Every structure is written in structure tokens, then in C-alpha cells.
Structure 1
Amino acid sequence: MLFSLAILLFVCPTVAATTELQAQCTGYDRLYNGTSCYVVVAPTKTQHSAKLSCNHYLGYSGHLVHIKSAGVQAAVKQAMTNYPNTTIPNIWTGSELINSSAAFPDSNNWGHYYRDGTFVTPTYLPWNAGQPITSVTYKRVMYTKSTDKISNSAESIVYPYVCEYEEALKQPVTDLEQKCVALASSLIPLFVNGVCYALHTIYSNYNDAKKLCNDIGGYDGHLAHIRTMSELWIAEALRAVSYSNYLRVGIEQTNLSSTDPNNGWYLTTPKNQSLPTTFLPWAASNPAAGSRTIGVTAGYPKSFATIANTAAYPFLCQY
């Protein structure tokens, strides 16, 4: 009996259990391959808007697709081909230029970015002939189905896109994540590492903005605290969607009599004690004396600018 059972176990193939993501990854617009679910989104968006939109499956930190191997490349092409009734020639990927002041053709200067601003330097870059083009605006990567290759492009151009959800990134879905993604359409949310960021595109001065972070009941909100390069990347991604030169965050110089613009900056909240901060990646010609608040502005790698607290700009809340 035991001998027969041993033979049966030997000859029967092992069948891998279907994962939750694999079971959910069904439909005309999606394809499960390897350990990722790829979702084709036909409505076009700019790259900075597209990378905030990968929320089909909560708990997986969805991001624009990383074409990191020939297998992924083939899966993306197949997913685009399967999409019915619409021809999708190009899609945005999650690859971006790391340092805009360095050489564009340098393969080490491109990264597969995740939604928290971290990235992996690619070892597989199937560029089209003559790519990448050296241009101050061509800092993002798209994939073209007809050539089966990638090219760099300006982030302001609109294309369809492919979102990727990885088994390895799975985390429990929290109440905050569900409420974050369900925020009103007038807000632009991004849930990252247990934090909900909500972009308010209305223009507000600093004193009003820091009172308006009350979008999610049961959670104390405040203007966003930017303390690392990853958090700065998140804020910059949201600033780009606002189409404003500056995005208000929760950093201010609380000593109104200070004449030293380089010191005395604090992370502030409406309810708790302010905390000093030393992460101050100033843009050129900043900080300026007399401007007591900070906005994220465009530029690499320094992206903080001082702005007057009475000036009106979009602002970023954090929960």
C-alpha cells in the first residue's frame, strides 16, 4: 500500500496553487504572466498622471510596467494585442531617467520606478534604433508594439499605459488604503507604504491649506512631511499632475523674526508639536530670506523652493 502511494506521488505532476492575484487577473484588458498581472488601460494620459492610476488591485502597490526581460516584453505585447476594438500602438512604462544632467545613452541612468520613488537599474533595455534621444524633455520610456522596442519620450505626451501588480509586493489591504483610493474625484490620491497622500489642486495660502487636510474621517491629516528622496519623488510626481510650479508641503520657518533662510525649518501639524527637519534639498537660488514656507518645485535633484505663506498654490495632504 505504501509502495503504491509512493509511486502515485512520484508520477503525478505537482500543480501550483492559483494565487489570489492570478484568480482576479481575468478579463479582456489583463494578462497574468510569470508572477505579475498586467492591465492595459486604453484611455490616454500623460506619464505622470498614468503612474498615479494603477489601483486596480489594492495591496499590491501597482506601478507602470517594468519591461525588465524578454518574457515581460512578450507579455506586454500580447496584452496589447488582446485588447479588443481599439488599436494600441504605444504604452507608457514605469521607466524614467534618473539624472537629467547625465548622459541619456548611459544604461545606468535609467531606472524602473516603483510608486514609492525607489527604483531598480535595468539590465535589459530593448531600445529602438537611434534611441534614446538626448533631449531635456524626453525623460520617460514608452513601448511600441509594431517595433517591439522602447523609446524615450516627453512625459507630457499622452499614451495608453500598462499597470503591473506583482505577487512579491502583496500586503494586507488596510482601511486607510481603501478610503484613500475612494477619495472624491476632485482629489488625486496615492497610497504608499501605509501613507495616503491626497493632492488638492485648488490654490490656497499656507495658513488655510494646513487646516484643510480633513478628507478622511477618523484620521488626522496634515500637510505632507518630506524627509527623504523617496518622499520627495512622491511629492514631485503629484506636483507634476497639478501643473503648478509649486506644491505646498508641511514645512515652515516658525521663527518669524529669523533672518537666516538656511536654518530653523520645521515639519508642522495642526495638533502636534513641530519637529525640526534637516532634509532641505534646495533648488538653485533658494532659500530666499523672508519666505517662510516651502513648496516642491521641478528640477533634479534639488526640488525645494521657499514661497511666501500668503501665496496661493496647490497643496499636498498626508494621512
Structure 2
Amino acid sequence: MILEYSACVILLIQLVLIHESRGSLFSDECLRHGLKNYYDPTTDSCWIVQATPLTYDRTTLQCNHMPGYDGHLAFPKTLNHSWIIWTKLVAYNSWIGLQHFGSPATVSNKSEWYWVYPDGRKEGAADLWINGYPTAGGGECAYSYGNNVNSFYNVPCTSVPAKFVCQYDSSTAHHETTLEHKCKQQNQWFWWEADKSCLLLDTVRRWIEFSKLLCTHIPGYRGHPVFPKTIEKIHAIGALRDGIKVDSIGTGMERDKNMTSGKVGLFWRRFDGYKESFNIKAILPGQTISLDAPGADYTFIEGDLISDWWDGTAMTLCEYEETLRYAPTLLDIQCASLSLPHLYYQGSCYVRQETFVTYDVAKKSCTHIDGFNGRLAVLHNSELVRLMYFTLTLPSGGYDSTYVGLERLNTTGAAGTGYYWILGNGQTLPVTDFTPFLGGHPTGTSCTLLYNYYLTTYECTYERPFICEYVEPTKGTHFQVNANTANMKALPQFIIQVYDDLSLQESCGYQCTKEPGCHSVVYNENTRNCLLQSVNSNMLYVKSTNIISAPGYAWYDRY
């Protein structure tokens, strides 16, 4: 008997410890958020107030602060919960999860009011109304005043926007995917449950043409500018924007050239360059007054609409999806963790350092990433020069001249000769392409600056910021297939060389490694046709008309 009693005591202690352990993890996650929040140990629930005023229909999409838990507008069913709203959250006059389900003429019927759970289940609230509510003249949604038990009243759902309280219960925990977990480690994140995708807002204004290359916040997931394919998603993004108090947000929707109407030729540009057609009927009739300028290349979210956007700047809302996973490299991971302006692109991590130093000091200062020998950036074509300016210099608001890794090593010839890119480990690459230089340059001086989106040569004693480059050890010697972009190739102007009888894709790739300008290959196993290309699938600012379908070909990127 004593043994049985002791066993019961031990079991009870274990159950308590397990419950407290889970409760502790849940409460820690609850209190991690910077918004006003409160963990209620009596019900093991988390209450978070969102102070951005929204109409009721928009609030129902916003209780997603805690991926891994199903959130809903709060259910203040007890005096304790009313006290939480009034005292701890200071959230009087807030939307709560109480709605009327019935005829608009019968809103005063208490039996037609329900708490609505995330799974659609409804629970009656007839016995909770006091103080003369609900009233026949009120609306079909509920406010909580919060200073007393059941002190809520009914108002029109489309009335003046108000703050709202979200509730999360530990019992609603569901399997948290890797993407969900990684998502909530980021700043300005937003989980869109309908698509199981993570949205991350970059509030630095960038040119949309280049901003799509910056969606690399979560290594292992290929990001793209957001795809707001439904009116509900547009509303949710609008609420996110309003809460952070930013203006325009660029989207991943683009438009083909030479369209006669603004509402045709629209498509979603995937990370791999593939065009996914857009059916505008998916967001009508809510989308009625925009998308009417056929000359605009891009789109952005303005209010509750997708609007036309020319080549301007906007905030970037990146979207990451579970299906777009890949195996990240160590450099990829370390690059994403940097706080300085950076870009991981084609096997290199580029980092802008704003410190003003001479060229010789800059050469020794590329030490941002342990385990990789850094060098000043090698920008041997106009594409890379423009890329560094529009992704790292212009958005940062920093000085417009930065050192890069180009020196004049041979001074015996004419002023425009003898320039070499410094690759590191004693290796150099002679300059063969002078198109990235500003008119009148190079001038014969020893060092080189990236000035706006040109290269200029100056004396090495000038103190300037600099751009470093860290390179994957195998960069340029390996090829990876884009599984989602098979059957793609570039138009002829991007084809460097054509081989009609190469028995293996590896043979095609080997030919590419011998061409400095070759970034990718497309290969047809049936015809053994090989095409060497000057573009790869990450060059998203190549206009859409440069890419066509080619059945039977697979696209391999060089990295």
C-alpha cells in the first residue's frame, strides 16, 4: 500500500513537472514578443494586444504572432480575463472573438452570439451578456470594454478601426515546421497560415528590379517578393504595413512588355525566373481601380489594392515557402547572419563596410566571416558593378565611392593598361572588359573605386569605405540543376556557345568552366544538345522577354 501511494506521489510530481515544463516553454514564447502581452497560468494561455487599429474583418487574419499555435481573437469569458484586458494589456475598446450569427435584424438575440474558434467550432455566449447588451441598434461584432466581467458591447463590424486582443492556448499547439521555427527568429516576420509561408519585411527602400535578390534572410529557403494571390492576403499585408507604419510594398507580380491593357500580361516571377500566370479574377471585385498602366513593369501594394509600379523604390516583403528548400552552404548561412549590408549571390557573399580607410588597409580588413579568406570585391562586368551599387550602396545611404579589388600592377604601358583584379592567394585576372568604367577611366592611377554604378580609378591614399567578397571554395566548378525550372533556356543573345553532340551534361558543364562569361548551361539528354549561357536562374532582373520555354532541356547553374 505504501509503495502504491509512493508511486502515485511520484507520478503526480512527474505530471506536474511535465506540465510546468511545457507551460514554461509556452510562457517564454508568449513573453518573447515586443508587443503588450500577458501569460495567464490559470488557463495556460497567452494574450497579446495588437495596437494597430483595424476593422474587425482584418483583425481575424492577424492573430499569428506565435507560429506553432492556432491564434484567435480573445475570449474574455471570466473576470480574470476582463482584468487582463483592462489592467495588463490596457486594451479597452478592443475587438474580441465574439460574433453574431443570424439575421441582422436579430442582433439583440443573445442566443445567436458565439465565440469562434480557429477550427470553425462555435461556442454560445448567451449567458455572458449583461448591462443591456447586445442592443438592436448595434452591430454584429463585439468590443470588450474590459473594466468588469462581461463588459462588452456590439458594434458594426465595419465601424471605426480599433485595436484587438489575440489569444493563444497551449492546447492548440500543432507541429511546428522548420520554416515556422526559423521564421519567428527574424525581425518583422509574419506567418501566412493559408500558404504555410513566412513573410519578412525589409523596410529599407530598394529598387524593385534588384530587391528580389535580397530575399536570402533564411538560408535553406529560396525567397521571392510576396505573392498576394487573394484579396484576404492583400488585406493582411496592408494591416502588417499599417502596423509597422511603412508605405509602399513591392510584390512579386510583373507585367510583360507591349501589353495593350494593364490587366493582361501579368505574372508572378518565381525565384528561378519562371513566369507563373496570374488570373486577375482571383482578386476581383475587390481589385477594380488599379492595374491599368500597361507600361509599368512591376506592382506594389497600396492600401487594399495591387497597383502599377514603374522602376521605383519600395519596401521589400520576402516570402519563403516550405517547398522551396535547398541545402545551404556554410558561407550562405554565415552571410545571412551579418548585420552589415550584404548579398549572397552566385557563390559569393558581398559585404559593404562603411569604415573610411586607405586601399592598403581595406585589403587587410575583409575579415567579417571566419573560415573564409576575404578579398576586396571582384566586379569584372557591368552586371556585378550595377548589382553592388543598387543592392549595397544606394539602399544603405552610405558614401557613393567604395574601394573594390582592382589594381594597376603593370605601370609600363599606356595609362589604360596594366589593370588586374586581385583574386587572392597570389592570383590575378587581367581586365578585358572596360564597359563598367566611367568615361575617361581608367586614368593610370593605381586603385579603383565603385562610384555609383561605374568603376573609376584614383590614388590609393584616399580614405573610403570598401566592399569585401567571400567566395565558396568550389565556386565556378560545380553545377546544380534547378528542379523547378526544367524545360527552360535563354534566348539566342544570351547563348555563348552551342554544342550539338555532347554525351553527358557533365561534358557540357566542363565546356562552361572554360568560358569566363558562362554562368549556366541547358542540356537536352535526348538530343545531346548543349547550350552555354551568359545568364543564370538567379539573375532575376533580366527582363521576362529574355526567357522562353524549351521542352526537353534542363537548366544547370554554375556555382
Q: TM-score, normalised by structure 1?
A: 0.66
- Who is 2:308 aligned against? 150
Residues 153, 75 of structure 1: alpha-carbon distance in 2 compared, 3 angstrom cutoff: farther
- The verdict on how the C-alpha distance between 1:44 and 1:182 changes in structure 2, with shifts beyond 3 A counting, is closer
1:17-59 deviation per Cα after TM superposition (whole angstroms, max 9, x unaligned): x98547866897132666x835152x73211596676444212
- Contact kept in structure 1, 2:212 and 2:224, CA below 8 Å: yes
SS of 1:199's equivalent?
strand
Structure 1 residue 197 displacement after superposition: 1.3
- Superposition RMSD in Å: 4.4
5+ residue gaps, structure 1, are 1-17, 98-104, 134-138
Match of 1:64 among 220, 225, 238: 225
Partner of 2:204: 45
Give the Cα–Cα distance (whole angstroms) in 2 for the partners of residues 222 and 230 of structure 1.
19
Q: Distance in 2 between matches of 1:168 and 1:228?
A: 33
Match of 2:430 among 273, 276, 280: 276
Q: CA deviation at 1:192?
A: 2.2
Per-residue CA distance 1:138-193 (angstroms, 9 max, x = gap)? x97533133332323643xxx5431122566532122222222223x3x2222223
Is the 1:177–1:191 contact (alpha carbons within 8 Å) kept by the matching residues of 2? Answer: yes
Write out aligned runs for 1:183-198 (5 A).
Answer: 183=338, 185=339, 187-198=340-351
Distance 1:283 1:76, change over 3 A: farther
Q: Distance in 2 between matches of 1:226 and 1:111?
A: 30
Alignment of 1:219 with 2:377, yes or no, is no
Alignment-derived partner of residue 64 in structure 2? none
**Aligned residue among 298, 314, 317 for 2:452:** 298
Tell me the amino acid that sits aligned with residue 205 of structure 2.
T
> Closer, same or farther in 2 for the Cα pair 1:220/1:56, shift >3 Å?
closer
DSSP-derived class of the 1:58 partner: coil
| 1:28–1:84 Cα contact (<8 Å) kept | no
Considering Cα pairs closer than 8 Å and 6+ residues apart, tell me whether 1 or 2 has the greater RCO: 1
Give 1:171-186 correspondences, 5 Å limit: 171-183=326-338, 185=339
CA distance in 2, matches of 1:75, 1:223: 46
TM-score, normalising length: structure 2: 0.41
2:249 alignment partner in structure 1: 91
Are residues 305 and 167 of structure 1, via their aligned partners in 2, closer, same or farther at CA, if it must alter by over 3 Å? farther
Are the equivalent residues in 2 in contact too, given 1:61–1:165 (CA < 8 A)?
yes
Percent of paired sites with the same residue = 23
Superposition map of 1:1-319 within 5 A: 21=179, 29-31=190-192, 37-41=197-201, 44-47=203-206, 54-65=215-226, 72=229, 74=231, 76-81=233-238, 83=240, 86=243, 90-93=248-251, 128-129=291-292, 142-152=300-310, 154-155=312-313, 160-165=315-320, 169-183=324-338, 185=339, 187-236=340-389, 237-242=391-396, 243-261=398-416, 263-299=417-453, 303-319=454-470
CA contact (8 A) 2:198 2:321 kept: no
Q: Which residue of 1 aligns with 2:84?
A: none
Secondary structure (helix, strand or coil) at the match of 2:360 reads helix
Three-state SS of the structure 1 residue aligned to 2:305 is: coil
Distance change (3 Å), C-alpha of 1:244 and 1:150: same
Q: Aligned partner of 1:179: which letter?
A: Q
Structure 1 residues 45-84: Cα deviation after superposition (integer angstroms, max 9, x where no partner): 211596676444212243433x5xxx63647514414639
Letter in 1 for 2:329: T
Count of equivalent residues: 276
Structure 1 residues 285 and 269, CA, compared in 2 at 3 Å: closer, same or farther?
Answer: same
SS of the residue corresponding to residue 413 of structure 2 reads: coil
